[in-house]
Structure formats: C-alpha cells, structure tokens
C-alpha cells in the first residue's frame, strides 16, 4: 500500500500599498525558500512568479495597507479565498508610514500638487487590513524578518497557533547586554514602548529605537512622554516619535495625540 | 504577406517585477496601435510626508520607499542633506558608504538575475522551477544574494531598511573581526561571480539592437556608484544640483509614476547605461571578464542587461574587498552636523539606475520641501519605446502567448521597481 501523502498547504502572498520589503522576508530566505517551496505550494506570489490572485488557499500572507477603493474590493476577495489570513509588516498591520497622511489635512496635500487631472483614485485614509476584514494573525515589523514568517509558516504547518513576541525592546537590550542609550547618553529612545523582534539593532548601533516594530503589550506611554520631554523634546517632537512608522496602531495614535495635548510640568 | 490582424494583449498583473504593474498592447491591422505600461500602485506621497520632519529622520523615512534598494535611498538622501548643511564627511565614511552600496548592488542584482529574469531566458516560469533544472546555478545565485545582504547588515544591522547610516557618516563603525570574516567570504565568492558572468553570457540572448541615449553618474577615476557627476552618452556632464535644468518630468494618464525626459526624449539608466558610459573605469580583472562575455561596448541590446548585472556583481565584490581589506575602524564614524537653512541635491546609482534627491531645509534642519526622482520613472518612457520596437521586430503575427512573454521579458530587462516609482504621485480623492 502506498503511503498517503497529505496535500501541500496552498499559500498566497498578496501585495497592497507597500515598499515590497516584507515580501523580501521570503525572497531573502536563500535555500530555505526552496525548502519552503517543498513544504507548501505558492499558488499566488507575483514577485516570485506564480500569478493567480483569486486562488483558494490555506494561508494568505498580505503585505501593504489598504488605500484605494479597488484595494477594499481586493482584500475582501483575498479574505474570502483564504482559510487563514496573516498580515506581514507595519503597512498591513498598522497602515505603515503612508498612514501619516491620515493625520494631515489630505486636501491640503492634494492642493499643493499640479492642477492637471489625476487618474489615480485613493481613499481619504490609509488603513491596516484589519480595518476591512478579519485578520487571523498579525506579524509586526518594518520589515518583518525571515525568522518571523518561517516561524508562522512552521507553526501553521504543524497545526498550532503561532506565537508573536510582545516584549519590549528594552528587555531585548538587557538580554544582549547593550548599554542603554537613553540612560547613559540621553538619546530619545522608543525602546520602552516598542515590541521586540528586530533584535534591538538600533540601540546596539548606539542610536535610538524608532519603534518600527510597533507598540509592545501594555505600554506606559505617558511615562515615556514625560521622559522625552525631560530630555528636551518639544510636544510636537514627542508626538512625531509615536506618529511615525506605526502611526495607525491605536496605542501609538493615542499616545501621540496625548503628547500633543500634554502640559509641561 | 502581411496579415491584417486585430489583437489585444493584456497582462493585468506582471509577474516577477518589483511592485505591481500591467501591460496593455493593442494591435490593429498588423501594427501596434496602442501600448501602455500601466503602473497603478497607489501613491504613498513620500515627498509630502517628509515635510516638517527632522533631517535626522530622513534616512529612516526614505528607506521605506523601496525594500529592495533602501541603501540607495539612504545614501542619496544623506549626501543631499550634507550638501544643504555644508557638511564634509570623512574619507573613512565615504569609503564605508561605497562598500555598503556594493552590498546592495550584489543582493539586488543577484535577486533580479535569478528570481526575476533568468527564467525568461531558460524557458521556465519561476526560480522554483529553475531550481529543479539547474540547482547549482540557483544555489550559487541565492548565496551571492545572501552575501550582498550580509554586507549591508555589517553596516546597517539588517538588509531591508538598515539603521546604520546617518547624516554626517555612520552611527557605528563595524568591528574589525566582523569585517575580516566578511572579507574572507567575499574572496571565496569571487569564483562564483565569475561562473555567474559566464553562465548569463551563455544564455540564448535575443539579438535586438536599438538606438537610445544612456544616462549615468561618472567619476574620472572609478566606476561611479555612490557619487559623481551626471553624464549622458551625448556628452552632457552636470552636477546633481543642475539636474532639473536638463531633465523634466510629465504625467501620463495610465501611470501613477511620472515619465522623465531628457532633451524631450526617452533615455536609459541602469547597469547597461553604466557599462556603456563607464566601462573604461572598470578595474582590469572586470574588463577581462567583460571581454570574455562578448558584450561589445557600447551595447545597444537591452537583453544583455542581465550580463551587465552579473559583471557588476563581480565588480562590486572586488570593490568591497579592495575597500575593506585594509579596514581600520574610525573613532568618529560621524562628523558633527550643524543644521542650517539651505538647499542640497545629490544623485547616486541605485542598482536599477540613477536616483536623484533634492531637499530644502529650515534653520533647524526640518524639511521644507523634498523632490525625489527614482530610476524607474526615468526608464519608463524608454521601456514603452523599447516594447514597441521589440515586439515589431519579434513579429506581430506571432501567437498572443509568445508576444505576451516577449513583452514581459523586455520589461524585466529594466528591472523596474514599481513601488519606488509611484511614491509621490498626484491623487484624486474618493471620499467614502
């Protein structure tokens, strides 16, 4: 009797408004990419070759934020065709850097440009995927790492729920025995409120964490706001630290707004 | 006999390119009536969102324009801002920036050759299919790609959106132990890069000579990459600050990327343009490989750009070794920067071609105005011109499937980065 080989899991990688950097978490895997292709079937992954955007799949990885009416329709189809939907990176998970325009008067930005007719349509606000459809797993980071996507893929292949680290960058710095840039040099570091996963690379380069992995669990934003003010940052500068790569993440959005309204004491 | 034929070729989503675009071709009575490379990615408005931000944040912001060439964006931005502030970085930092840039050329070119372009020449549809036909070649390519990434990581901590570069230099000097270990790996990869060059030169490369103007940075004593004056094959040579006097951009209805023009015409930038303009500046070992591959310069066949990329990988390996072999860390990886109100422009050679930035700052170093012209919007008009000529030369009577495949291969010759090209376009608002 021949052994029953389970069918390969079918995977799609979809792109919305983004820099392509999170898809590189797959394309930079090297030989692991070929190994992954043995374990799963990439039904749709345009940058790598296969194009079948409406394929029914077990797992859909989604890069990029939703920013046009067409995107809204497309993400609905992606959701309908996928058993499990995973957002990869800051754009898909928290709107990404382009969501900064949500904080400005978009009309003003448009008024600053040419009078010639425009053929591009866009939504008033750039939103993360979860604002439109149900998301089963969010992978944070700008960009996500190969380790994150492989760990998620392996967990799903084994039928268990993947775990995402929600610790703060500070803890990662301690584990690595990095010298704290804020305590020793007064650098305005976002490590105390930022989710780890990057390996605390910025502090290990002697510079500030700029929160590219988004908010950690249970953050104390008012305390960091006071600390940053104590380092001499104006209210607007403190707000800009929260309103950067992950400005549409609720914890950072409200922290930045609170910083703008905060009184100096 | 010419057959009267009506045919519409539509490729709604181009595979194996960076970002999302489409190709529409209409053939009427045996001639191309309409041809559009449609770029429909929504604009991300980087130039607007840079306004009001501190100069210190710019390297972290512009990296996000492109995940494949973030180093190019960072290198161009920091030099433009250093020009605005009148900052002179150290020779050490200049050398290290060039070494880091070599890493990006290696990884981006290796990715393009193996994952995006080679399948066209070898009759397969993806690198995964290619790996079962030529596993050694694919393994070699992925290894070179990884090595390029490691070189970026040495200076930037990670290869996508690295964190090490700042206005004034670098946040940190790499440890000599790490540099030495990497130099050893770069040495070991030289034979692989040679094999790669010969491998690509052995592809069945279509004969498709065309006439075009080449534009690239030039330096008298070296193959320009991280710095130089902007040159063209008609003899133009200008400073980056004069770019706007010679190059213009205009909007077309089917693209969210602007089309650039030089003297009212299309032009080419990227690896083949660089080889054509600067081939004589290549070090002797690279020139020998160039001769061996049989590309005569100037080369007018864009299908040879895959060979040009493999030659640039070999060059970038040698160049990184040259710079890093005698590495000594610097105590001051960055010079002090005092911001001032000013304007600065700079250009560098991104893997896929010329990248130009210009910033205006206030006295506290905040960005008042930013202009960024990426390589793909510069190549866009040339791509459409090439597609028309290539498809006509290929034979419009051929089956639709063949025409579509040829069209896609022509586009890939330019390694277009659509995510880059659409970062700043005009938009209409749809309020919901």
Strand partners, A15: A63
Of A119, A205, A212, the CB nearest to B171: A205
Distance CA(B267)–CA(B215), nearest Å, equals 7
Q: Which position has the higher pLDDT, A165 or B291?
A: B291
If you count residue pairs, one on A and one on B, with CB atoms under 8 Å apart, how many are there?
A: 192
* B343-402: pLDDT as tens digits: 999 999 999 999 999 999 999 999 999 999 999 989 999 999 999 999 999 999 898 888
Q: How far is A24 from chain B (nearest CA, A)?
A: 8
From chain B, pick out residues whose CB is under 8 angstroms from the CB of A48: 16, 115, 126-128
Q: Which of A97-106, B178-187, B197-206, B266-275 shows the lowest mean pLDDT across its residues?
A: A97-106
Q: Which residue has the tokens 């104006």?
A: A234
With beta carbons less than 8 A apart as the criterion, state whether B290 and B311 touch: yes
Q: Which residue of B has its CA nearest to A42?
A: B128
Predicted local distance difference test score (pLDDT) of residue A4: 54
Nearest CA in chain A to B54: A237
Which pLDDT value is given to residue B196?
Answer: 98
Q: Do B164 and A205 make contact, defined as CB atoms within 8 angstroms?
A: yes
How many residues belong to chain A?
Answer: 265
pLDDT at res. A159: 86
pLDDT greater than 80 at residue B29: yes
Q: How far apart are CA A129 and CA A152, in angstroms?
A: 18
CB nearest A47 (choices: B18, B49, B256): B18
Residues in chain B closer than 8 A to A109 (CB atoms): 45, 48
> How far B195 CA lies from chain A's nearest CA (Å)?
19
Residue B241's nearest CA partner among B84, B22, B375, B415 is: B84
Under 8 Å between Cβ of B97 and B165: yes
Q: Do A23 and B172 touch (CB under 8 A)?
A: no
Nearest in space to B409 (alpha carbons), one of B4, B139, B20, B16: B16
Query: Under CATH, which number does the domain A9-157 receive?
Result: 3.40.50.700
pLDDT digits (tens, 9 = 90+) for A187-201: 999 999 999 999 999
Contacts with B94 (C-beta within 8 Å, 6 or more apart), sequence order:
B226, B227
Q: Which residues of A touch B253 (CB under 8 A)?
A: 119
Query: Most B CBs within 10 Å: which of A13, A20, A35, A199, as the mutation test of the B interface?
Result: A20
Q: What local confidence, expressed as pLDDT, does residue B102 receive?
A: 98
Residue B4: pLDDT band with limits 50, 70, 90: low
A185 contact partners, CB below 8 Å, separation of at least 6? none
pLDDT bracket for residue B263 (50, 70, 90): confident
C-alpha distance from residue A253 to each of A6, A16, A120, B151, B311 (Å)? 45, 22, 27, 36, 48
- pLDDT recorded at residue B400: 85
pLDDT in tens, B111-153: 999 999 999 999 998 999 999 999 999 999 999 999 999 999 9
Rg (CA), chain B: 21
Q: Which residue positions in chain A have pLDDT lower than 70?
A: 1-6, 105-122, 263-265
B194 vs A6, residue with greater confidence: B194
Beta bridge partners of residue B87, listed in sequence order:
none
A231 to chain B nearest CA, in Å? 17
pLDDT at res. A121: 60
Q: What is the pLDDT of residue A262?
A: 74
- Chain A residue with CA closest to B116: the answer is A48
Residue of A nearest to B161 (CA): A143
CA–CA separation, A35 and A29 (whole Å): 9
Mean per-residue pLDDT of chain B: 92
Question: What does the pLDDT look like over B210-236, one tens digit per residue?
Answer: 999 999 999 999 999 999 999 999 999
Chain A hits for B133, Cβ within 8 Å: none
What pLDDT score was predicted for residue B167?
Answer: 98
pLDDT, tens digit (0-9, with 9 covering 90-100), for B89-113: 999 999 999 999 999 999 999 999 9
Task: Judge residue B234's burial from the number of C-beta atoms within 10 Å of its C-beta, 0-12 exposed, 13-18 middle, 19 or more buried.
Answer: exposed
State the pLDDT at residue A1.
44
Place of tokens 């090209």: B421
Beta carbons of B427 and A21 less than 8 Å apart: no
- Put simply, the answer to whether A21 touches B42 (Cβ < 8 Å) is no
Contacts of B125 in chain A (CB under 8 A): 49-50
Q: What is the pLDDT of residue B45?
A: 84
Please tell me the number of Cα atoms within 13 Å of B163 on its side-chain side: 19
Q: Which comes out higher in pLDDT, residue A182 or B19?
A: A182
pLDDT per position as a tens digit, B152-190:
999 999 999 999 999 999 999 999 999 999 999 999 999
Minimal CA separation from A83 to chain B, in Å: 24
All domains in chain B, ordered by first residue:
46-421 (1.10.645.10)
- Where do the structural domains in chain A lie, given as residue ranges? 9-157, 169-261
pLDDT, tens digit, for every residue of B36-68?
Answer: 888 777 778 898 899 999 999 999 999 999 999
Quote the CA–CA distance of B197 and A247 in Å, as a whole number. 45
- Answer whether B411's CB lies under 8 Å from B37's CB: yes
Contact residues, chain A, for B127 at CB < 8 Å = 33, 48-49
Residue of B nearest to A244 (CA): B61
């Amino acid at each position: 009797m021949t052994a029953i080989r389970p069918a390969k899991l079918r995977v799609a990688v979809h792109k919305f408004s983004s820099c392509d950097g999170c898809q590189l978490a797959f394309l930079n895997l090297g030989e692991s990419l070929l190994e992954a292709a043995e374990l799963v079937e990439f039904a749709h992954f345009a940058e790598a070759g296969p194009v079948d955007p409406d394929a029914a799949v077990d797992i859909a990885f989604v890069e990029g934020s939703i920013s046009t009416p067409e995107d809204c329709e497309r993400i609905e189809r992606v959701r309908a065709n996928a058993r499990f939907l995973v957002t990869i990176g800051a754009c898909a998970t928290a709107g990404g850097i382009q969501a900064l325009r949500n904080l400005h008067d978009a009309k003003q930005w448009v008024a600053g440009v040419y009078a010639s007719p425009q053929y591009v349509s866009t939504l008033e606000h750039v939103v993360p995927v979860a604002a439109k459809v149900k998301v089963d797993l969010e992978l944070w980071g700008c960009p996500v790492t190969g380790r994150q996507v492989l760990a998620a893929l392996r967990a799903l292949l084994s039928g268990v729920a993947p775990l995402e680290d929600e610790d703060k960058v500070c803890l990662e710095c301690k584990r690595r025995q990095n010298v704290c840039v804020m305590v020793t040099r007064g650098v305005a570091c976002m490590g105390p409120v930022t989710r780890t996963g990057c390996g605390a690379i910025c502090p290990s380069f002697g510079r500030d964490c700029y929160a590219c992995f988004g908010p950690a669990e249970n953050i104390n934003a008012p305390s960091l706001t006071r600390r940053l003010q104590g380092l001499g940052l104006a209210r607007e500068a403190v707000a800009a630290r929260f309103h950067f790569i992950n400005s549409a993440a609720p914890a950072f959005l409200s922290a930045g707004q609170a910083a703008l309204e905060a009184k100096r004491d | 006999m010419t057959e009267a034929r009506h045919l519409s070729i539509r490729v709604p989503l181009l595979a194996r390119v960076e970002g999302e675009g489409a190709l529409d071709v209409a053939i009427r009575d045996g001639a191309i009536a309409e041809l559009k490379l449609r770029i429909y990615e929504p604009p991300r408005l980087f130039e607007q969102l840079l306004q009001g931000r501190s100069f210190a944040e710019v390297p972290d912001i512009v990296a996000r324009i492109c995940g494949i060439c973030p180093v190019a964006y960072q290198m161009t931005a920091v030099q433009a801002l250093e020009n605005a502030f009148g900052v002179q970085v150290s020779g050490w930092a200049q050398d290290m920036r060039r070494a880091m840039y070599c890493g990006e050329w290696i990884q981006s070119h290796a990715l393009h050759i193996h994952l995006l372009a080679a399948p066209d020449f070898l009759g397969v549809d993806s690198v995964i299919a290619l790996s079962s036909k030529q596993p050694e070649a694919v393994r070699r390519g992925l290894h070179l790609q990884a090595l390029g990434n490691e070189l970026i990581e040495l200076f930037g901590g990670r290869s996508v959106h690295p964190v090490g570069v700042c206005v004034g230099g670098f946040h940190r000097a790499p440890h000599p132990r790490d540099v030495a270990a990497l130099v050893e790996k770069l040495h070991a990869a030289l034979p692989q890069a040679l094999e790669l060059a010969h491998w690509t030169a052995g592809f069945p490369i279509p004969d498709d000579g065309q006439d075009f103007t080449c534009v690239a940075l030039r330096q008298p004593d070296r193959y320009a990459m991280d710095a130089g004056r902007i040159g063209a094959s008609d003899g133009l040579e200008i400073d980056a600050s004069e770019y706007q006097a010679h190059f213009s951009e205009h909007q077309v209805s089917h693209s969210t990327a602007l089309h650039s023009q030089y003297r009212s015409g299309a032009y080419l930038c990227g690896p083949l343009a660089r080889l054509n303009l600067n081939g004589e500046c290549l070090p002797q070992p690279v020139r020998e490989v160039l001769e061996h591959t049989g590309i005569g310069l100037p080369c007018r066949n864009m299908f040879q750009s895959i060979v040009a990329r493999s030659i640039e990988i070999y060059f970038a390996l040698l160049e990184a070794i040259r710079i890093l072999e005698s590495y000594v860390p610097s105590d001051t990886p960055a010079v002090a920067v005092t911001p001032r109100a000013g304007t600065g422009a700079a250009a560098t050679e991104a893997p896929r071609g010329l990248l130009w930035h210009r910033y205006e700052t206030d006295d506290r170093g905040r960005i008042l105005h930013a202009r960024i012209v990426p390589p793909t919007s510069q190549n866009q008009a040339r791509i459409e011109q090439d597609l028309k000529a290539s498809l006509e030369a290929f034979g419009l009577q051929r089956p639709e499937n063949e025409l579509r495949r040829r069209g896609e291969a022509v586009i890939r010759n330019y390694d277009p980065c659509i995510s880059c090209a659409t970062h700043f376009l005009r938009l209409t608002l749809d309020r919901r």
